[in-house]
Structure 1
Amino acid sequence: MPYRMIDLCAGIGGIRKSFELTGQFVNVLSSEIDRYACTTYEHLFGENPRNDLTTEEFKRQAEKVQFEVLLAGFPCQTFSRVGLGEGFENEEKGKIFFHIAEIIRRTRPQAIFLENVDHLVTRDKGKTFKAIIEKLEIDLNYKIIGTIKNTDGSLSYHRRNFIRNSRDFGVPQNRPRTYIIGFDRGFFDQDAVSRLPNDLPERRAEPLYGNLNTVLEPNVELKYYMSSGYFETLIRHRERQAKKGYGFGYRIVNAPEIENPVANTLLATGGSGRERNLIYDPRDGIAGMEIRGKKTPLNDKGIRVMTPTEWGKLQGFVNYAFLDENGIDGFSFPDGIPNIQRYKQFGNSVTIPVVEQMALFILDCFERLGNFPPVD
C-alpha cells in the first residue's frame, strides 16, 4: 500500500505527480492559493487545492489527517536571482517556510521534501539557508540528507550538496535547484538513521531527450515568431549591456553552432525566461509577414520564442508524467488558461524527472530504515 503525503505550496502539482509516478505514494491533502494554479491543479487531479497553509484552520486540518510525507515547493521569488532577494525579510513570502515548519512540528511527518531555487543556499551569505537547516535539524530533530551533526551539536554541510540540476536528469534545461530531504529522528531507529546515504541523487540513468532540438515542435503557430521590431529592440539592448561589460540579453539557445543545445532556466516571470530561450527555427515564406497582434512584420532570421508545450516538455509534464499505458498524453490545461499563465505555471513548477528520482531516493531510505508502516 502507498505512503500518504500532503502537498503544500502545490502549484499545479508537479511535486505530487513526481511522487505518484513511483506508484508508492498517494496524496491526502493539498494547499495552494493562486487561483489560476488551483484551476489547473483541479483539472489535472480532480481535487481543488484551495487552502491557505498560513491559517490556523489549515494547520488544524493537517493535524487531523494521517500522512507520512510532507512535500513543499515553498515560494521562491524572494530567494530567486530574478526576484527581490529579500529572503525572510519579505513578510508575505519568506515567512511561508516558518508556517511549513510549524506544520511539521505539529504533525511530525516521517519524511519531508522541500524544493526551492539554487540561490537559497547563498542568500545573505548563507545565513538564510543556515536558519532553515538549523530549524529542521536542531529545533525539529530531522536528519537532513547532506548534513553532519557534530558531537557538540553543531552542523557541518556544504551548500553544493543540496543543489541538483535538471540537465543531469535527462532534460535539456539548465535548472539548478535546492532540494532538502529529511527523516524524523524521533520516529526511526537512530542507528538506522545514521547509516542512511548522505548524498542526494545526482543524475537519471536514462535521458528523456537527446538535446533541446529533440524537444522542439515542428511548424509552430506563426504568433510565436518574433516581430522584426521587437527582435531589433532585443539586439540593441544586448549590445548596450555588452558595452557595460554585462552578459544580460536575449539568447538563441539552439543556434546552429551549438552542438548539444540546452535551454536556460524557465522562469515563473515568463517574459524574461522566453527571451533568454529564443529558438532558431527558419521557415520559408514567413519573413516579413504581418501577423495580427504584432506591430511590425515577422523577423527575417527565423527567431521565435518557445511554445508553452515545449516548456511543458522541459519540465516533464508534457510527453512524460501524464502518459497512460498506451502512450497517450493526458496532460492538458483547462479551457480559459491564457498562455501567459501557462508559461508562469510551468516556470513556477519543478522538473518532474528530477523530483521523481528524489521520491525514489526517499523510498530507498524508507527500506533502509525498516519497519515503516504503509497505509492500511
Structure 2
Amino acid sequence: MKTIRFIDLFSGIGGMRLAFESAARSLNLETECVLSSEINPDAQLVYQKNFADTPLGDIRLIDKLPEHEILLAGFPCQSFSYAGKKEGFGDTRGTLFFEIARLIDIFKPQAFIFENVRGLVSHDGGRTLETIKGEIKSRGYSFDYFLLNSSNFSLPQNRVRVYLVGILNASPQFNLISDLGPKDSHSSSHQQLSFFSPLSQPVTVADILEDNPDPKYDCSPEFVNALKQIVNNDFSRLHGRRLIDYRG
C-alpha cells in the first residue's frame, strides 16, 4: 500500500492532520507525518495526546525538512479575520505565510493544502489573496481555492473556511465547488457531499451532547442573564443562531 508522507505546519491540536489521514484511509492510502510544528505550548500538549507526536515550535526556527509529498498548513488567521483588526500582511502573524513559502523552496512537496478564515478571500480588496497566488504560482504550483462550510461535511457547526490547494507542475480539475452552506437558521445544505458519497442526514449539536454533563461546563450566570436581556427571556429565539465573539 502506498504511503504518503506529509508535514503539518501551524498544526494547532491536529484538525487538518485528522482530516487528511481520514481522507487518505478512505482511498486506501497509508500516511506518515514526518514533521509537525506548533508554537502554542497548550496546543502542543493536546497534539501530543492526540497523535503521540510532539510538534516542533516556532516555524521561523525550522531550516530543513524531511522528504514529503504533501504540505498542510493552517497559517495564522487573525490577520484576516472579521473578528480581528484585519491588518493582513501588516500584522506579524500575516507574514508567517512567507515562512511557508521559504520552506516550500527548501523541499518542494508535490502538493499543498492551506486553510484560513473566509476573510482572506476579500481582504484588502482581494489583493492579499492575489499576493499569495502569485507567490505560489511563481514556484510552479497550480492554485485553486474553495470556500466550504463544515456543516456540509457531517459536522454540527456552521463554519466557513477557505482552503487553498496547489499541485506542482500540474493543472488539476476539481469536482469540488465553493459552497457557503446554510445561513444562520435551522436550514442546512448537504448537497456538497454528493460529490463524494451518498447524502446523509445532517448532524446536529444535539447528536453530540452528553447526558448530564459536569456543571463546570455551564454558562456563567452573567452570560445567561445577558442573553436573557437580548432574547427577552425567550431562549427558543436562539435556535439555529450562531453567537460571534468579536474579540476586543
Into which bin does the TM-score normalised by the smaller protein fall? 0.7 to 0.9
Distance 1:201 1:129, change over 3 A: closer
Q: Partner residue of 2:102?
A: 102
Tell me, which stretches of 5 or more residues in structure 2 are unaligned? Answer: 180-191
Output the CA distance in 2 between the equivalents of 1:180 and 1:163.
Answer: 9
Matches within 5 A, 1:78-97: 78-91=79-92, 93-97=93-97
Output the CA distance in 2 between the equivalents of 1:208 and 1:42.
Answer: 33
1:28 offset after TM fit, Å? 0.5
Say if 2:222 is the partner of 1:225.
Answer: no
3-state SS of paired residue (1:112): strand
Task: Work out whether residues 11 and 37 of structure 1, in 8 Å CA contact, stay in contact via their aligned partners in 2.
Answer: yes
Output the CA distance in 2 between the equivalents of 1:50 and 1:195.
Answer: 32
Which one of 63, 68, 79 corresponds to residue 59 of structure 1?
63
Say if 2:45 is the partner of 1:39.
Answer: yes
Distance 1:235 1:28, change over 3 A: same
For 1:59, the aligned partner's letter is: D
Tell me, which stretches of 5 or more residues in structure 1 are unaligned? Answer: 147-161, 186-192, 240-250, 274-376
Q: Partner residue of 1:112?
A: 112
Output the CA distance in 1 between the equivalents of 2:32 and 2:9.
Answer: 14
Q: Partner residue of 2:32?
A: 26
1:216 offset after TM fit, Å? 2.2
Structure showing greater relative contact order (alpha-carbon pairs closer than 8 Å, 6 or more residues apart): 1
Q: Partner residue of 1:264?
A: 242
- The Cα RMSD (Å) is 2.6
Matches within 5 A, 1:144-293: 144-145=143-144, 162-185=146-169, 193-194=170-171, 196-197=173-174, 199-200=176-177, 203-204=192-193, 205=197, 206-207=199-200, 209-236=202-229, 238=230, 255=236, 258=239, 261=240, 264=242, 272=245
1:26 offset after TM fit, Å? 1.4
Q: Partner residue of 2:184?
A: none
Task: Work out whether residues 113 and 180 of structure 1, in 8 Å CA contact, stay in contact via their aligned partners in 2.
Answer: yes
Distance 1:219 1:131, change over 3 A: same
TM-score (normalised: structure 1): 0.54
Distance 1:229 1:3, change over 3 A: closer
For 2:6, the aligned partner's letter is: M
TM-score (normalised: structure 2): 0.79
Distance 1:230 1:143, change over 3 A: closer
1:225 offset after TM fit, Å? 3.3
Q: Deviations over 1:195-214 (max 9, x none)?
A: 53374586234547532322
1:109 offset after TM fit, Å? 0.5
Q: Partner residue of 2:139?
A: 140
Q: Partner residue of 1:124?
A: 124
3-state SS of paired residue (1:135): helix
Output the CA distance in 2 between the equivalents of 1:95 and 1:81.
Answer: 18
Output the CA distance in 1 between the equivalents of 2:75 and 2:200.
Answer: 27
Q: Partner residue of 2:183?
A: none
Output the CA distance in 1 between the equivalents of 2:68 and 2:20.
Answer: 14
Task: Work out whether residues 40 and 57 of structure 2, in 8 Å CA contact, stay in contact via their aligned partners in 1.
Answer: no
Q: Deviations over 1:311-351 (max 9, x none)?
A: xxxxxxxxxxxxxxxxxxxxxxxxxxxxxxxxxxxxxxxxx
Task: Work out whether residues 145 and 200 of structure 1, in 8 Å CA contact, stay in contact via their aligned partners in 2.
Answer: no
Output the CA distance in 2 between the equivalents of 1:13 and 1:234.
Answer: 33
Distance 1:134 1:213, change over 3 A: same
1:215 offset after TM fit, Å? 2.5
Output the CA distance in 1 between the equivalents of 2:172 and 2:35.
Answer: 31
Structure with bigger gyration radius: 1
Output the CA distance in 1 between the equivalents of 2:139 and 2:175.
Answer: 19
Among all aligned residue pairs of Structure 1 and Structure 2, give the percentage whose two residues are the same amino acid.
Answer: 34
Output the CA distance in 2 between the equivalents of 1:184 and 1:100.
Answer: 15
